[in-house]
Every structure is written in structure tokens, then in C-alpha cells.
Amino acid sequence: GPLKPEITITYIAVSAIFFNSGLSLKTEELTSALMHVKLHLFVQIFTLVFFPTAIWLFLQLLSITPINEWLLKGLQTVGCMPPPVSSAVILTKAVGGNEAAAIFNSAFGSFLGIVITPLLLLLFLGSSSSVPFTSIFSQLFMTVVVPLIIGQIVRRYIKDWLERKKPPFGAISSCVLLMIIYTTFCDTFANPNIDLDKFSLIIIVFIIFSVQMSFMFLTFLFSTRNNSSFTPADTVAIIFCSTHKSLTLGIPMLKIVFAGYEHLSLISVPLLIYHPAQILLGSLLVPTIKSWMVSRQKALKLTRQPKAPVKV
């Protein structure tokens, strides 16, 4: 179509999101985020180990139901996907959480996903294919790392102007993300061979929202324990980065790993639902999570204040 998604989405849109992040993020915040190893380990282990394993166990129960088996396989592929390169960052920024940690985990998780996601698909679904790791890795590097670095460099020269004008970085990223979702939906549902029964589709949508809510609550509980050492801003990044899955990496990866599968369109449907669902759910929860984070930060600040000596 006229939008040319094979160029505008694959290269320009994702690059624009990370250039935008590089431009808006303070360099010292990004540097300090690199050292937060415990947070990164939590996010990556939850996303690439716990998530796919939990989904696999859940699907063992669903396999005895009349739900379309290819949609169930699609649910498993969702579990195997790496963190997103955009939505988690945008929502963390909207709440006011640790944006630098969200950016690092999005980029790092995406690079891990190049190797780990095909292996997980092979483990859980038995799919095998020669995946061109080099080409995916180089594409990720050019669309994620390079724009982020360029954004940081440009920021050094126009830092004063940015702080004075405060451009709407969040709105720009949201518009780009909306374009990614729109073109991906068009690409999948334009396939004349797709055969969806309404019952299976409704159940899958319900399951996807239930899984997201459950996992968001689970990550919230784990990251707010007394001995977790995570700040409220860290918790916000963890909630979004651990439970969100990449559509921009996922769809091309599915096309590579399941090349030649006649049911590829059906396998792709759960991921196509999951992505806008995570943005919708995240957007609805932004005010609630922001209110919790602000009140929690105030409470922590009060407990850290030295108590005045009692006069006798």
C-alpha cells in the first residue's frame, strides 16, 4: 500500500521511537541504568524463562478444550517473544517510572530474543528453521542502538532548547506505535486463507487480557517485597517490561521460523491481539500506577527523614 510498511515500519518507525528516546533521556540516567543488574536479571528471566514456561503449563489444560489448536500454538509463540522495543518504554515514561531501565531492557531483551526466541519456539513447538541471526542482529543494531546513540549525541547540542521547549516526546512515540499496529493488522487480516471461528477468538482475547493482568500483578508483588531493593520507579519499569511482548520483532521472526506453514496467519493472531491489548491495558492503568508510585515515593521520603530529638 501507499504507507510502504516494509520500509516505513521495519526501519523508519522503530528507529524514530529510539531516536526520540535518545533525544529525551538524560545521559546520566541511561548510564546509571546499565549498572542496575538485579533489575535487568529480574526482567529478562521473567520474560524469557518464567513467561513461556507458565504459558506452556497453562496450554496443557487448554489442549482438551475445543479452542482452535493453531490459536493455542500462537499463544505459546507470544510467551516466547522478547520484550518490546517501544510500548514498555512509552508507558514507563507516561507514568514517570525508570525510563532508562525500560530502554535498556527493551534493547537488551530484543538482542537476547534473536537467539533465545527461536530456541524457545523449537523447544515448545518443535519448529525448526535456519534463522538468519546475523541479518536480524544487524537490523536490530541499526534500528535500536544506532538511533538511540544519535539521539543522545544530538541532545548534547540542543539540551538547553529541549529543556526550555519540552517537545511532546510521548505523543510522538504513541503516534508511531499506532502506525505500527495498524499496518501489522492490515498485513495479517488481508490474508484470504485465514479461518477464524468466533468462539476461539473470543476465548483467546479473554485469556490474553487475563494473562496480562495476572502477570502484571505478579511482577508488582515480587518487585515490591520488603527485601527486593527496587524503587517505586523501578517497579513501574519492571511491570511493563516483564509483561509486554514485541510485535515489531515477533511478526518478522514468526515469518522466518514458520516459513511455509499454511497456518502462519492463525499462529500470528494471538500476538496481533496481545500487542494492542498490552497498550490498551497499560494506558488504562497509567493513572492508577502513577498515583501509587507518587504516594509510595512520598511515604519512603518521609520514613528516611531524620526524626527530631525529643525535648525532656
Residue-level length of the chain: 312
Residues 6 or more apart whose Cβ sits within 8 Å of residue 26: 100
Give pLDDT tens digits for 280-291: 898 889 899 999
Mean pLDDT, rounded, for 28-50: 82
Q: What is the pLDDT of residues 51-96, one digit of tens each?
A: 999 999 999 988 888 888 888 888 999 999 988 767 888 888 888 8
pLDDT tens figures, 256-296: 667 666 777 788 889 888 988 888 898 889 899 999 998 98
pLDDT at 214: 94
**Sorting pLDDT into bands at 50, 70 and 90, what band is 49?**
very high
pLDDT value of position 28: 63
Q: Pseudo-torsion of CA 146, 151, 153, 159, nearest 10°?
A: -170
- pLDDT of amino acid 138: 72
User: What type of residue is 126?
Assistant: G
Global confidence as pTM: 0.73
CA distances from 50 to 79, 145, 239, 284 (A): 9, 27, 14, 25
* Res 173: pLDDT: 64
Query: Residues 170-215: pLDDT tens digits?
Result: 677 667 767 766 766 666 566 665 666 788 889 999 999 999 999 9
pLDDT recorded at residue 140:
64
Higher pLDDT, 279 or 134: 279
Averaged confidence pLDDT in the chain: 79
Just give the CATH number of 3-293. Answer: 1.20.1530.20
What digits encode the pLDDT tens for the residues 206-243? 999 999 999 999 999 998 887 778 888 899 999 999 99
